[in-house]
Structure 1
Amino acid sequence: MSGRRIFELITSAAADGSAARLGKISLPGRKAIETPNFFAATSRGSVPHLTPDNLRRHTPVSGVYMALEEFIEKKEPPVQHTPVRETSRRLHSFTALPSNTVSILGPRRCAAVATPFGNTPKTITVFTSTGFRNVTVPEFTSYIQALQPDIVLPLADIPNVSATPSSKKLARMVDRTEVWLDEFFDRMDLSKSSDSLGSSVFAPVLPVDHPIQWDYLRHLSEDVLDKLSGLAVYDTNILPDLVNYPSLAPLPKLSMDPPKTPQEVLRQIFLGIDICTLMFVNSTSDAGVAMTFSFPPPSVDKVQPLGINMWSSEHNTAVVPLLEGCQCYTCTKHHRAYLRHLLNAKEMLGWNLLQIHNHHVVNEFFAGIREALGKGQAAFEDAMHKFAAAYEPLFPEGTGERPRARGYHFKSEAGSEKINKPAWIDLDKGAGVTEITSVVESGTPSSESQDVTPAEVINVEAAAAALSLS
């Protein structure tokens, strides 16, 4: 199996310590991606709140990251048995992904859910729709051969717990990952399907210190370089050490260390990341926050927020776009008052429109980064410093209820509370008929009915009506 060269380096890193650079990723049958850029994070194969047709029509998303653990079950994963033409990529067909959008398939979510037990010498632990299970290299290879993603991230022994592993454990992680990578390549070489619809391989760079994985990085740069198309970096702090391996420099670097803010995105690009996997776009839209930042930042007298809370009552009658001058579908067709109404009514269209707007803002943010890099490293670094001074360090918190929880919201820690509140109350264990009547008549819970919340009033009304008929 030989690696496909998919990356064209336009400008190289500067000599002053910055590794930011311009490039272009080109994959057969897909639209070329100018870098630095971002890929959207998916849930069960789709970008949250967006159907494939709206993703194609109203967003500039050029690539998506998908997790294998969201498609498989404990037995007979249905995704493998989806009928599809031999000449097409099954993952695109199964998820109805737009034909010009790049697909990346990795074993686990970004960021992954903590598992109750760790990986073994031959398997990694994943969280499927039917619970936790193990995946071996032969299984993973069979999935890749069946699904044919554009880019694949092989198995990596990444710690599943928040506690820092011991040095011996870290060394075992590196050794296992190297063995798994070599086995993956060997099995792909034996596959006939890899000759016609091969997947570009991005080798994992582990979240451990350089002295522990230096021999693994040497293995990548010398022994299997001809089979690689890129690197998947799980801790961007390792990037300065990669200068010791000049043969890896021409490879594109995908960040699997998800940034939480635009400021962290800029830092990762400064260190040499070409593609960022962004989770904060989904979480910001879920919170009901519309992004308002830009790069380079505008000249302002005071620090500006990174977004606006669309749940705020100040938007009740605001017939202005979410962001002045924004050319996204949401801002050109609707206004803040309408969006706030949709959120308050729990209409899914509200989150649809927010997701469209936020992806547009992020796309313009990366376009500004590329434009600044085109003017030179000094212009980019100057804009970075101005951005840090112009905007608050964190996104505002949404004050309303977010939509239904999805797979990547799952919390496996003991004692974790449910993310979504129940929509119905138990009449036997909760409020009695007297409390229900009080809620229906007043519209708010009485002092004796503290178990009934305003969000349950509509359901309580229905229950009271049913009781009156009985």
Structure 2
Amino acid sequence: MLSFFVAYAKSSTVGPRVGRLTRVGQKAIKTPHYVATTSRGVVPHISHDTLQKHTAVSSIYLALEDFIEKRITGAPIFKTPAKDGESPLRKYVAAQDDVLSILGPRRVPALPCPAHNNGSAISICTSVGFSQLNVNDYHDALRTLRPDIAITMADVVMHGTASVKRIEKSADRTHAWLRDACEQLSAHEKSSSKPAIFAAIPPIANVQQSLYLQDLAEEYRHMLSGLAIYSSTTAVDLPQALFDLPRMSLSEPGSPHSLLKDMALGVDLLCIPFIGFASDHGIALVFEFPGPDLAIDEPRPLGIDLWSIENEASLLPLSPHCECFTCTRHHKAYIHHLLQAKEMLAWTLLQIHNLSTMDRFFDACRKSIANGSFEEDVELFTRRYETDMPAKTGSGPRIRGYQIKSSGGGEARKNEKAWDRFDDMAQQIAEAESGLATAEGDSKQLEDQGIAERV
């Protein structure tokens, strides 16, 4: 049901490559490409009709921890009515039929949990607090929800530096969980309903998980449709038998420079959280690849801050060469006004533009790789653009609890107070007015207050 074809590769081991990922009944995805991350099953700030009309999103990453609470059993998503062969996951999130659905256990980026993983479960962050996701429950969820692509569970260490023994446990647990996933998902009655399996590769050195990688190439190769890597460095020195599998990165690139490094190592699909972060912070991405051929004295910024007063009266589009819905119909001053007014439309228009920017970026990267000029173009891009994203200056939309890590009791509010008690506000107004001079009293009193002068 899922096929991948490498159209061009500079090397048969590691290096940038161009490919095509195809699933029956869906549009082919040209790689390298990005995967849109979701929150509670939707791309942030974008409604489903807007996603279809004004973006070119071809695949979405969904996290099971977004849909479950303290206990996985009884979650509404598992009660979604679906006909034979339909995906309850796709129906629940109302995803388009031509968009590839990818289901993993945790979000990207994942919020660190206070509890550690164990031999049969990983720690997750649900909408009502931290919990444990049992590996058997996860495999049951994959069979029930039927995503297009199922990412196997990995024991990812998220608590600082790990010991050698802990790293060995990580590789062994991931290995065992992959075996269980292949056995349970392969036992499904109808092959058309089986999700394609992407084997998770934890972010540890390949030498320390050599046995696991060897088994992927020899024992499980015929059951796998791709690889899900948590660190792009693991794409180096993979077994040759795994070369023709698509590689999806679940790392957390913070800038387009990081994306280029991943593509240079042969990564095909990349989750990019900074697209949503930029939109949240009121930043419009304006970079191009390899960048404008202009003489510049210093690197250009990767984005512009629409909160800045400099954009208050600018009638220019967000990016001069962008033809997205936002840039062809609105200008910087309008987006600046919407941000100041805290209108949700501001973040919707920014998200449309930022997704369009990434579409052009990856399209240019694919052409550069196919032309054999990728390394030179990356050097040009590095010289022409700053290495870091613009700093956040304005406040974004309201922060949801699962997006941030709690520091314990007594911590400051994450969102400003939107309203107050009327009697408290009336008291504050009265106190403010009490300190003002008023035109009351006789002429002597008015003259003493400096309001009038007797003639």
Per the normalisation by structure 1, the TM-score is 0.88
Residue aligned with 1:113, SS = coil
8 Å CA contact retained: 1:113, 1:412: no
- Return the offset for 1:315: 1.4
Residue of 358, 361, 373 corresponding to 1:362: 358
Q: Could you tell me how far apart the structure 1 residues matched to 2:369 and 2:242 are? A: 21
Residue aligned with 2:23, SS = coil
Q: Determine the structure 1 residue equivalent to 2:452.
A: none
8 Å CA contact retained: 2:2, 2:24: no
Q: Determine the structure 2 residue equivalent to 1:324.
A: 320
Q: Determine the structure 2 residue equivalent to 1:73.
A: 69
Q: Determine the structure 2 residue equivalent to 1:183.
A: 180
Residue of 315, 332, 336 corresponding to 1:336: 332
- Partner deviation per Cα, 1:208-252 (whole Å, 9 max, x = no partner): 11221011110111110101000001011222222xx10011001
- Return the offset for 1:202: 0.7
Q: Determine the structure 1 residue equivalent to 2:143.
A: 145
Q: Determine the structure 2 residue equivalent to 1:258.
A: 252
Q: Determine the structure 1 residue equivalent to 2:50.
A: 54
Equivalent residue letter for 1:72:
I
Residue aligned with 1:420, SS = coil
Equivalent residue letter for 2:248:
L
CA RMSD for the aligned pairs?
Answer: 2.0
Equivalent residue letter for 2:317:
P
Residue aligned with 2:193, SS = coil
Q: Determine the structure 2 residue equivalent to 1:157.
A: 155
8 Å CA contact retained: 1:45, 1:66: yes
Equivalent residue letter for 2:179:
D
Q: Determine the structure 1 residue equivalent to 2:81.
A: 83
Q: Determine the structure 2 residue equivalent to 1:468.
A: none
Q: Determine the structure 2 residue equivalent to 1:35.
A: 31
State whether structure 2 residue 306 is matched by structure 1 residue 310: yes
Equivalent residue letter for 1:381:
E
8 Å CA contact retained: 2:127, 2:402: no
Q: Could you tell me how far apart the structure 2 residues matched to 1:14 and 1:149 are? A: 32
Q: Which runs of 5+ in 2 are unaligned?
A: 436-455
More off after superposition, 218-227 vs 85-94: 85-94
8 Å CA contact retained: 2:307, 2:394: yes
Change (3 A) 1:98 1:438: farther
Residue aligned with 1:149, SS = coil
Equivalent residue letter for 1:435:
Q
Q: Could you tell me how far apart the structure 2 residues matched to 1:266 and 1:29 are? A: 30
8 Å CA contact retained: 1:240, 1:271: yes
**Count of residue pairs the alignment pairs up:** 430
8 Å CA contact retained: 2:246, 2:268: yes
Q: Which has the larger radius of gyration?
A: 2
Q: Could you tell me how far apart the structure 1 residues matched to 2:90 and 2:434 are? A: 53
Q: Could you tell me how far apart the structure 2 residues matched to 1:151 and 1:317 are? A: 46
Q: Determine the structure 1 residue equivalent to 2:225.
A: 229
Per the normalisation by structure 2, the TM-score is 0.90
Change (3 A) 1:170 1:440: farther
Q: Determine the structure 2 residue equivalent to 1:291.
A: 285
Residue aligned with 2:204, SS = coil
Equivalent residue letter for 2:379:
H
Matches within 5 A, 1:204-243: 204-242=200-238
State whether structure 2 residue 163 is matched by structure 1 residue 166: yes
Residue aligned with 2:237, SS = helix
Q: Could you tell me how far apart the structure 1 residues matched to 2:433 and 2:37 are? A: 42
Q: Could you tell me how far apart the structure 2 residues matched to 1:441 and 1:319 are? A: 44
Change (3 A) 1:150 1:440: farther
Equivalent residue letter for 1:24:
R
Q: Could you tell me how far apart the structure 1 residues matched to 2:10 and 2:231 are? A: 19
Residue aligned with 2:366, SS = helix
Q: Could you tell me how far apart the structure 1 residues matched to 2:47 and 2:21 are? A: 25
- Return the offset for 1:389: 0.5
- Return the offset for 1:13: 3.0
Change (3 A) 1:408 1:41: farther
State whether structure 2 residue 33 is matched by structure 1 residue 14: no
Q: Determine the structure 2 residue equivalent to 1:456.
A: none
Q: Could you tell me how far apart the structure 1 residues matched to 2:123 and 2:434 are? A: 52
- Return the offset for 1:12: 1.8
More off after superposition, 397-406 vs 361-370: 397-406
Equivalent residue letter for 2:145:
L
Q: Could you tell me how far apart the structure 2 residues matched to 1:5 and 1:249 are? A: 16
More off after superposition, 354-363 vs 306-315: 306-315
8 Å CA contact retained: 2:326, 2:353: yes
Matches within 5 A, 1:197-208: 197-208=193-204
Q: Could you tell me how far apart the structure 1 residues matched to 2:406 and 2:430 are? A: 39
State whether structure 2 residue 364 is matched by structure 1 residue 371: no
Q: Which runs of 5+ in 1 are unaligned?
A: 443-470
- Partner deviation per Cα, 1:64-121 (whole Å, 9 max, x = no partner): 1110000112241110001122222111111111111111100001111111111111
Superposed structure 1 runs of 4+ greater than 4 Å apart? 425-428, 431-434, 438-442
Q: Could you tell me how far apart the structure 1 residues matched to 2:192 and 2:283 are? A: 44
8 Å CA contact retained: 1:258, 1:276: no
- Return the offset for 1:195: 2.2
Q: Could you tell me how far apart the structure 2 residues matched to 1:275 and 1:71 are? A: 24
8 Å CA contact retained: 1:62, 1:102: yes
- Partner deviation per Cα, 1:242-266 (whole Å, 9 max, x = no partner): 2xx1001100100011211000000
Equivalent residue letter for 1:142:
D
Q: Could you tell me how far apart the structure 2 residues matched to 1:369 and 1:414 are? A: 44
Q: Could you tell me how far apart the structure 2 residues matched to 1:326 and 1:199 are? A: 37
Change (3 A) 1:99 1:440: farther
- Return the offset for 1:418: 3.7
8 Å CA contact retained: 2:14, 2:236: no
Q: Could you tell me how far apart the structure 2 residues matched to 1:208 and 1:22 are? A: 26
Q: Could you tell me how far apart the structure 2 residues matched to 1:279 and 1:408 are? A: 15
Q: Could you tell me how far apart the structure 2 residues matched to 1:104 and 1:436 are? A: 54
Q: Determine the structure 2 residue equivalent to 1:351.
A: 347
- Return the offset for 1:142: 1.4
8 Å CA contact retained: 2:325, 2:353: yes
8 Å CA contact retained: 2:62, 2:103: yes
8 Å CA contact retained: 1:40, 1:277: yes
8 Å CA contact retained: 2:123, 2:132: yes
| Identity across matched positions, percent | 37
Equivalent residue letter for 1:169:
R
